[in-house]
Amino acid sequence: MLKVSIIGAGSEFTQNIVVDILTIKGLDEGIIALVDLDAERLDIAHQLVEKIIEKIGKKWSVIGSTDRKKVIADSDFVINQIEVAGLHTVKLEYEIPLKYGVKQCIGDTLGPGGLFKTLRTLPAWLAIVKDIEELAPNATILNYTNPMSAVTLATTKVTTIPVVGLCHSIQNTSNDLARYLGIPYDELKWRAGGINHMSWFVELTHNGKDMYPVLREKMKDADLLAQDPVKFDAMQYLGAFVSESSGHFSEYIPYYRKRQDLIDKHCSTGYNGGTGFYANSWPTWRKENDEEIRRKLTGEDEIKLESSDEYAAVIIEGMVKNEPKVIYGNVLNQGLIENLKPDGVVEVACLVDRNGVHPTRFGRLPEHLAALCRTNQAFFELAVDAALNKDKEMAMHALMVDPLTAAVCSLGEIKAMFDELYEAERSYIEI
């Protein structure tokens, strides 16, 4: 019987993923195993999944525990969506760098926030991987936890269990591009590759016509430009549209957040680059997510059975039913993109069938785009190796090569910032 374990079941992703899995035609029975260290959030997630099963009417069951060893055995798929000590650290990882002039919008992938999230996430996650090896050695790991590239890279370094990192930035961005261009989504063709949150749409066509001249013309509309300000601006100079939000992307390169006048010019609020957006919003989002689940449990809010654009169920359906699928996944490069680190993680189109996830060869990125990706790959490599080797100096070097931090601070200032963050969070990290 098919078994899917979800680690970090209190996450907002759980409802969408479970609905997606349970609405797969022909998968009429199975087990959903939920794990979360927070007993209260685990309980409401468990109740929610029970209601989804009841509403769909299939012979699935749900089990749950705060002790993963009690429920993950013999899983076919393990979905990782953990958050480690986020409530206690999100403000620290924003406010301390702010003192040094580093103004983050999201801070969960690169920069000071991304580094320390890596350092506090990996020890917990790698302990989970060890248990997966022991209890579910035939599983496939589907990772949703950020920093996506770092978590996926670390997993490949410690286990041979198949792992693919899953994001929604390719789906969201391709939908955005169709909307910006005013053409049906199913008619838009593209070719994209790079790294997570920095995949480049190097080709964009409609009925054989290059859409980039059209997009450049349309972005002259101030209202359209305001919908994705950083990414449109970067496209003018770099020649390709990039995945993820403008706010995320503004942190991954050195051009947009190193001075307040640049932030004022190119960034606006929320996911379009608002300074402190994630740190100031995340605790509220978490509370609101729990409240929304409780309203669904009481019947005050409806549980909708609409399919999402997440890839987890697509992979499960493709492998279990042997129906060929295409997803964009984060996997070891190994020559897939020739001018990126061969032992780094890249985001490329992947084929899925009963034998698993098969990445496809991309070729070469335009060199200037590859160079921007390689800098970020170096950050991930240093951060991951620092966590694996418990090497504090290597972690500091990761921050020193971070594009935004280096654009704002001197080496001495970066060391001072790192030391202050380390002292503030030393109880949550293991280096």
Active site residues: 168
Looking at residue 417, its amino acid is M
| Six-digit token string for 282 | 């995340």
Q: Exposed, middle or buried by CB within 10 Å (0-12, 13-18, 19+), for 181?
A: middle
Rounded Cα distance, 111 and 103, in Å: 10
